[in-house]
Amino acid sequence: MKLLLVFSSPNGTTRTTANLLKKAFLPYGHEVEILDIGRSPWRENHADILQEIRHAEVVGFGSPAYHMDFFQPLLSLFNHMAAQSEPFPIRAFFFLPFSGITTGKAFLRATRQFRRMQIPVIGAIKIQAPHFHHTQPFPTPETEHHIHTFVSELEIKKYAPIPWQMTEDQFKPFTPKVHVIRPLIHWVGKLRELPITMEPALCTRCGKCIRECPAGAIHKNGLVQIEASLCLHCYHCVAACPKQAIHCPVEKLDAMMQRNIQIIGQEIPANQYYV
Which partner, ligand FMN, ligand SF4, none, binds residue 5 by CB below 5 to 8 Å per kind? none
Would you call 200 exposed, middle or buried from its count of C-beta atoms within 10 A (0-12, 13-18, 19+)?
exposed
Minimum CB separation of residue 224 from ligand SF4 in Å reads 5
**Count of Cβ atoms closer than 10 Å to residue 46 Cβ:** 17
Q: What is the DSSP letter of 90?
A: -
**Taking Cα atoms as reference points, which of 80, 76, 73 lies closest to residue 37?**
73
Would you call 119 exposed, middle or buried from its count of C-beta atoms within 10 A (0-12, 13-18, 19+)?
buried
Rounded Cα distance between 81 and 11, Å, is 25
Chain center to CA of 150 = 17
Question: Of 22-30, 33-41, 113-121, 216-224, which part binds ligand SF4 (CB under 6 A)?
Answer: 216-224
Nearer to ligand FMN, 37 or 68 (CB): 68
Nearer to ligand SF4, 126 or 236 (CB): 236
One-letter amino acid identity for 78? Answer: F
Is 208 a binding residue for ligand SF4 by CB under 6 A? The answer is yes
- Kindly identify the residues of this chain, within the stretch 173-202, that bind ligand SF4 according to CB under 6 A: 196
Minimum CB separation of residue 180 from ligand FMN in Å reads 18
Is 61 a binding residue for ligand FMN by CB under 6 A? The answer is no
- From 237, 253, 264, 268, residue interacting with ligand SF4 (rule: CB under 6 A): 237
Is 213 a binding residue for ligand SF4 by CB under 6 A? The answer is yes
**Taking Cα atoms as reference points, which of 97, 72, 71, 130 lies closest to residue 257?**
130
Is 253 a binding residue for ligand SF4 by CB under 6 A? The answer is no
Which partner, ligand SF4, ligand FMN, none, binds residue 108 by CB below 5 to 8 Å per kind? none
- From 97, 101, 233, 260, residue interacting with ligand SF4 (rule: CB under 6 A): 233
Is 6 a binding residue for ligand FMN by CB under 6 A? The answer is no
Nearer to ligand SF4, 51 or 225 (CB): 225
Is 68 a binding residue for ligand FMN by CB under 6 A? The answer is yes
Helix residue ranges per DSSP H, 89-163:
104-116, 141-156
Is 105 a binding residue for ligand FMN by CB under 6 A? The answer is no
Would you call 242 exposed, middle or buried from its count of C-beta atoms within 10 A (0-12, 13-18, 19+)?
exposed
**Taking Cα atoms as reference points, which of 164, 159, 93 lies closest to residue 126?**
93
Nearer to ligand FMN, 56 or 96 (CB): 96
Q: What is the DSSP letter of 179?
A: H
Under 8 Å between Cβ of 50 and 173: no
Residues of this chain that interact with ligand SF4 (CB under 6 A) are 196, 203-209, 213-215, 217-218, 224, 226, 231-237, 240-241, 243, 245-246
Residues of this chain that interact with ligand FMN (CB under 6 A) are 9-14, 64-68, 97-102, 129, 131-132, 189, 192, 233-235
